[in-house]
Chains A and B, each alone.
Chain A
Amino acid sequence: MRTRFCTATLLAAAAFGVAWGVMPVAGQTAAYRAPRTADGKPNVNGIWQALNEANWDIEGHSAAPGRVVALGAADAVVPGLGIVEGGPLPYLPAALAKKKANFEKRLTLDPEIKCYLPGVPRAMYIPQPFQIVQSTKTIMMAFQYAGAVRTIYMDDHKEAPADSWMGWSNGHWEGETLVIDSTGFNDLSWFDRAGNFHSDALHVVERITPADPDHLTWEATIEDKAVYSRPWKMSMTLYRRKEKGARLLEFRCVEFVEDLIYGHLRKVQK
């Protein structure tokens, strides 16, 4: 009975696989083949969002009190398994000291609190949706948080003309995978609210692969010789926002932080 059931399941799975173009790949049981755009590339268009706690701390962490007493449980650190493969992060000694100092002063130093651009990779898992608009020569990623944007140049690979928050991204396809090589970062963004950070030597290589119609597997290799003793990896799933009429809305947060940043310079204090 059991054998017969398994056989039937396997046959059904095989038929399903053939029908949907799932091809077996050496070393894996099966790989998903994404629907194609009109120019024949895997179609990664859509509105996506990470569903994890990496923005609190990319490494595994337990729940903890928040940063602002008045906000109570609403600001408490949400526990998460982390998205770093292996660990702990291979900080150089001086960099580890800086990470600890960042953590101590996170309420005033975290760029997110001032509505600054999130940088990469943080933009990818900050808990708000982003949209991919995929064309042949260019793939755009527009983020709801702070209206951040990444331009991925697919055919015109150049070096960054200057450093920037969101870096300079050159992309190419490797089969089902969108590979994005990013450099040209400034040293001002953080990886998370825990003070994990990078220098302007940051080099990020992301691999984005459709896992099924509504999920992307996102992997990144982080290299930064000024901060880390070796390259290290992160990985997570990006989920398609499937609500009817899902869309990005404006999170133009500059207005919300003006009193925080400039309030002490008012002529008449509130």
Chain B
Amino acid sequence: MKHRALAALSGSGGVLVVAIAVSALAAHVAGQAPSSPKPLPAAPAKAAAAAPATKKWTLPRTPDGQPDIQGYWTNSTYVPLERPDKVTKATYTPEEFAAVVKEAAAREAEQTEPGTVADVHYDFTQFGLDKSQSAFVKNDLRTSLIVDPPNGKMPPVTPEGQKRAADRAAERRRMGATTDAVQNMPIGTRCLIMAGSGPPMMNAGYNNNYEIVQGPGYVMILVEMIHDVRIIPIDNRAAALPENMRQWMGDSRGHWEGDTLVIETTNLNGKNPFRGSSENMRVTERIARVDADTLSYKFTITDPATWTTPWTAEAPMTKSVGPIFEHACHEGNYGVTNTLAGARLEDKKAAEGAAKKTSN
């Protein structure tokens, strides 16, 4: 928890707690948390979200009879969305997977170089708790999250999708450098929404934690990043939004198919595109509890304006440790102010330098 809070604070805004950061750092050093990745569970690891646990497990239910999917979960994983080009098989051996994790964890640790300015600013291994140091899905040996198409890659992009990608790139160039104005910066930097908050819910560098709470007629998912809350009405409890009403997280409605929660989302505003999607993307998510510590999470993307066929990925969630601390991103967003102020100072120095040159 303490580490997670620190990740939130140091990630983008730390109004809250320099003092705590310092004391926690001291504790961290004193306790000497492992600097290498946690050991993987002994092989054979079970396939993701498939095999039931060996001992008998019964699906828990809420007092009103829904499958109980409540609790703290994480989809943190080293499995990439798409299968790497050099990989031809669908699943690694446990030894190969251990090597992949080891390599990735080493990369995370090397994001900053000791003794440099960048290192003073941020050190994932000290403050951010990279994936290897927190809960992540350890028993998923697949080489891609995408399960359909079977080659583990997104389907071909339509001409319309290609044109949209080119138009978006041109618009970004037209707007100028990211340091020219806050509106040119990535939406996550601006604390509008994190790219992975979804739907679909996708793991990112850190803070991949979710809290699910079920009330009568609603399932609520709290996304740690920017305290985003998804409130999903079950069984048409809330009317669908009209076509013209668009939201960052769209309009989500759910129903139970047996013990699987199916969530359909439309009415996205297109300002947080998922891998180049259009605003008319439909996301179908399927969540089911498969054992005490695992949620199966599958999503299907249907967006004929972008891809030639729908595609499906599976990104299981594993039990995480709560509680989730407030990620007040915007409120402590000194990063934007400092970045822009620094850039304007550079502009001023450059202008003064040029003026000096001219007068000489």
Contact = CB atoms under 8 A, between A and B. Distances in A.
B326 interface: yes
Given A140-B220, A245-B239, 5 more contacts: A117-B328, A135-B214, A147-B228, A249-B245, A265-B344
Nearest to B214: A135
Given A38-B62, A45-B216, A149-B227, A267 B344 contact: yes
A117 B226 contact: no
B2 A115 contact: no
A146 to B, nearest CB: 8
Interface string B318-345: 0000011110101100001100110110
Interface stretch (B44-52, B136-144, B190-198): B190-198
Contacts, number: 144
B216 A38 contact: yes
A116 B180 contact: no
B238 A162 contact: no
A254 B239 contact: no
Contacts of A38: 62-65, 216
Contacts of A221: none
A39 B325 CA distance: 27
B325 A164 contact: yes
26 contacts: A37-B63, A38-B65, A39-B63, A136-B63, A137-B70, A138-B211, A140-B215, A149-B222, A158-B323, A162-B325, A164-B326, A247-B233, A247-B238, A249-B245, A250-B247, A252-B193, A254-B190, A258-B182, A262-B182, A262-B337, A265-B181, A265-B337, A265-B340, A267-B179, A267-B343, A268-B181
Name the 5 nearest CB pairs between A and B, nearest first. A245-B239, A38-B63, A265-B340, A38-B64, A133-B215
A149 to B, nearest CB: 5
Contact of B331 (A133, A188, A266): A188
A115 B328 CA distance: 11
Given A163-B16, A244-B239, A265-B340, A149 B229 contact: yes
Contacts of B340: 262, 265-266
Interface of A: 37-39, 43, 45, 115-117, 131-138, 140, 142, 147-149, 151, 153, 156, 158, 161-166, 186, 188, 244-250, 252, 254-255, 258-259, 261-262, 265-268
Nearest to A146: B330
A45 B217 contact: yes
A262 B189 CA distance: 13
A123 B62 CA distance: 29
Interface residues of B, number: 59
A161 B1 contact: yes
B62 A135 contact: yes
B13 to A, nearest CB: 11
Contacts of A136: 62-63
Contacts of A268: 180-181
Chain A CB within 10 Å, residue with most, of B20, B238, B331, B337: B331
Contacts of A148: 227
A26 to B, nearest CB: 31
B213 A133 contact: yes
Contacts of A134: 215-216
A245 B253 CA distance: 12
Given A135-B213, A135-B214, A249-B247, A266 B180 contact: yes
B274 interface: no
Interface string B171-189: 0000011011111000000
A99 to B, nearest CB: 22
Contact of B16 (A131, A142, A164): A164
A244 B236 CA distance: 12
A153 B72 CA distance: 13
Given A140-B213, A162-B5, A165-B331, A254 B63 contact: no
A250 B2 CA distance: 30
A258 B333 CA distance: 11
Nearest to A133: B215
A262 B336 contact: yes
B17 interface: yes
A140 B218 CA distance: 11
B213 A163 contact: no
B15 interface: yes
B238 A245 contact: yes
Contacts of B216: 37-38, 43, 45, 134
A126 to B, nearest CB: 16
B229 A45 contact: no
Contacts of B182: 258-259, 262, 265-266
A250 B248 CA distance: 8
